[in-house]
């Protein structure tokens, strides 16, 4: 089944996956497969591998996008395929989408391939975000292809298969707008029915999208997550985290933190994420304006709701982190001065004790006293895909030993519970500050 392709042939072009030398399932998310009503044994079978590598009736999705602020009118799935829309046992529809399946009509100069380390990284981050309660696309499987992929060096080739409630992006609406108001209107009605069935107008779609994106970014900020490439083609209408290739969790707190090798000007730095999302939402509004009388005025008014909605979502997220309300702003000021290990500080919050990394910082003792008097009940993760810890697991996996990576996944799926067997994985604390420099790559 593929209702999107059936309804929007202009936005979904037929394509088939490349035939690879020796495709094999390396990591399968069996709990997710079971939730979806998919048979893990079948997914590992030759027929299942054919499905996961795009050997059936698949499509490459078309979309436009602002990439680092510059508009590209025709992008699309250059190395990915929508394999199927799947209905789970509860009647909910999901996209099953594979990356690294080879060239498509949107490939331009790309080879359509995907390095193994990038596929495994996305799997780990998706499982981590899901376990933290952050809306995200989920990884269903990583397959090795038997081939190699030249990037900064030769990598083993892979296919990453993910599941999302849809792959309709802000960039999808930008592409539809270039094709005309009738296409945008049809896409709006389809997106409303799929994601926001209580709505009936473009304004309803925009309102609901604003709320979901405000809540999503607030959760990213609460955990120190940096998406890395918040182009409009990487923002899903559903409010799920998607296309987070050069992502990272912040080690030492700094509002200008950037890890992505391609973000040389800091456009998508940690502190810029809320404002960038508002900018992206303005691009969605531009695509929808022709569908509404006095559209510029009405969408401008609704866009202004984003900031207070983000503020409320941020306050709620930080109240959960600190276990008390009204303490976050002063703490942020202390963090900017001390630049401590951000998530280690949150995980180590203990009433009556100055948070780890703030010892000796002016105002920290006073903050601690005020916070402690509120009888706080903080709840923060111990285990995250820390940069150096995850990288060590990826290196071993590329060399053929996947044991450390699988243990890492186990820890990330249980982020709040200490277990001695995870202690040496490097997931619960940053490396020493002098060694904390790290660069991420998007895996293209």
Active-site residues: which are they? Answer: 233
Q: What per-residue confidence (pLDDT) applies to 444? A: 58
Is 234 annotated for ligand binding? yes
280 or 435, higher pLDDT: 280
- Run of H or E including 84: strand 80-87
**Does the structure show a pLDDT above 90 at 435?**
no
3-state class (DSSP) for residue 95: strand
Percent of the chain at pLDDT exceeding 90? 95
**Does the structure show a pLDDT above 80 at 442?**
no
When mean pLDDT is compared across 102-111, 340-349, 397-406, the lowest value belongs to 102-111
Is 169 annotated for ligand binding? yes
The pLDDT tens digits for 282-322 are 999 999 999 999 999 999 999 999 999 999 999 999 999 99
Tokens 């190699």 found at: 148
Q: What per-residue confidence (pLDDT) applies to 434? A: 87
Is 78 annotated for ligand binding? yes
Report DSSP letters for 341-381, one per residue. BHHHHHHT--TTSPPTT-TT-TTHHHHHHHHHTT-------
Q: What per-residue confidence (pLDDT) applies to 430? A: 87
Main-chain phi, psi angles of 27, to 5 degrees: -135, 130
Is 153 annotated for ligand binding? no
Contacts of 146 (CB under 8 A, 6+ apart): 20, 21, 22, 23, 24, 157
Is 421 annotated for ligand binding? no
Question: Region 117-137: what's the mean pLDDT?
Answer: 98
* Cα 115 from Cα 145, distance rounded (Å): 10
Q: Would you place residue 110 in the very low, low, confident or very high pLDDT band (cuts 50, 70, 90)?
A: confident
* Cα 354 from Cα 367, distance rounded (Å): 8
Q: What per-residue confidence (pLDDT) applies to 443? A: 65
Q: What per-residue confidence (pLDDT) applies to 268? A: 98
Question: Region 37-58: what's the mean pLDDT?
Answer: 97
Q: Would you place residue 436 in the very low, low, confident or very high pLDDT band (cuts 50, 70, 90)?
A: confident
Q: Which 8-state DSSP code applies to residue 232?
A: G
The pLDDT tens digits for 214-265 are 999 999 999 999 999 999 999 999 999 999 989 999 999 999 999 999 999 9
The pLDDT tens digits for 306-365 are 999 999 999 999 999 999 999 999 999 999 999 999 999 999 999 999 999 999 999 999
**Does the structure show a pLDDT above 70 at 2?**
yes
CA-wise closest residue to 23 among 117, 159, 224, 140: 159
Structure-token pair, residue 44: 């590992």
Quote the mean pLDDT of the chain: 96
* Cα 221 from Cα 205, distance rounded (Å): 24
The dihedral region occupied by 291, where left means phi > 0, alpha psi between -120 and 50, and beta the remainder, is alpha
Is 76 annotated for ligand binding? yes
* Cα 78 from Cα 76, distance rounded (Å): 6
Is 263 annotated for ligand binding? no
Q: What per-residue confidence (pLDDT) applies to 108? A: 87
* Cα 300 from Cα 308, distance rounded (Å): 14
pTM above 0.95, yes or no: yes
The pLDDT tens digits for 60-96 are 999 999 999 999 999 999 999 999 999 999 999 999 9
Strand partners, 27: 142
Contacts of 138 (CB under 8 A, 6+ apart): 29, 32, 126, 127, 130, 162, 163, 164
Cα-trace Rg, the chain? 22
* Cα 185 from Cα 177, distance rounded (Å): 9
Is 389 annotated for ligand binding? no
């Amino acid at each position: 089944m593929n209702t999107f392709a059936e309804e929007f042939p202009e936005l979904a072009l037929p394509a088939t996956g490349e035939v690879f030398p020796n495709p094999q399932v390396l990591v399968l998310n069996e709990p997710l497969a079971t939730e979806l009503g998919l048979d893990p044994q079948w997914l590992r079978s030759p027929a299942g591998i054919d499905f996961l590598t795009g050997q059936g009736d698949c499509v490459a999705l078309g979309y436009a996008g602002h990439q680092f602020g510059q508009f590209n009118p025709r992008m699309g799935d250059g190395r990915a395929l929508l394999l199927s829309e799947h209905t789970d046992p509860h009647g909910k529809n999901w996209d099953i989408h594979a990356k690294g399946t080879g060239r498509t009509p949107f490939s331009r100069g790309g080879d359509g391939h995907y390095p193994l380390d990038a596929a495994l990284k996305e799997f780990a981050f998706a499982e981590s975000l899901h376990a933290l309660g952050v809306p995200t696309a989920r990884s269903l499987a990583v397959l090795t292809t038997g081939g190699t992929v030249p990037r900064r060096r030769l990598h083993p080739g892979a296919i990453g298969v993910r599941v999302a409630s849809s792959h309709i992006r802000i960039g999808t609406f930008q592409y539809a707008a270039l094709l005309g108001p009738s296409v945008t209107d049809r896409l709006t009605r389809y997106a409303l029915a799929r994601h926001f069935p209580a709505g009936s107008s473009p304004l309803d779609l925009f309102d609901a999208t604003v709320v979901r994106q405000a809540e999503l970014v607030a959760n990213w900020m609460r955990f120190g997550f940096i998406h890395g490439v918040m182009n409009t083609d990487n923002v899903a209408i559903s409010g799920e985290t998607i296309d987070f290739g050069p992502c990272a969790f912040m080690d030492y707190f700094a509002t200008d933190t950037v890890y992505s090798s391609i973000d040389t000007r800091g456009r998508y730095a940690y502190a810029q994420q809320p404002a960038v999302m508002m900018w992206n939402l303005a691009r969605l509004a531009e695509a929808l304006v022709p569908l509404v009388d006095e559209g510029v005025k009405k969408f401008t008014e609704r866009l202004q709701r984003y900031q207070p909605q983000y503020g409320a979502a941020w306050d709620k997220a930080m109240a959960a982190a600190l276990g008390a309300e009204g303490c976050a702003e002063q703490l942020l000021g202390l963090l900017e001065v001390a630049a401590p290990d951000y998530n280690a500080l949150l995980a180590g919050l203990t009433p009556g004790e100055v948070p780890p990394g703030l010892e000796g910082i002016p105002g920290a003792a006073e903050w601690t006293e005020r916070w402690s008097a509120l009888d706080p009940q903080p709840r923060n993760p111990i285990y995250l895909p820390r940069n150096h810890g995850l990288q060590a697991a990826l290196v071993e996996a590329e060399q053929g030993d996947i044991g450390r990576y699988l243990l890492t996944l186990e820890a990330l799926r249980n982020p709040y519970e200490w277990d001695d067997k995870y202690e040496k994985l490097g997931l619960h604390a940053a490396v020493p500050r002098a060694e904390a420099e790290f660069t991420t790559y998007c895996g293209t």
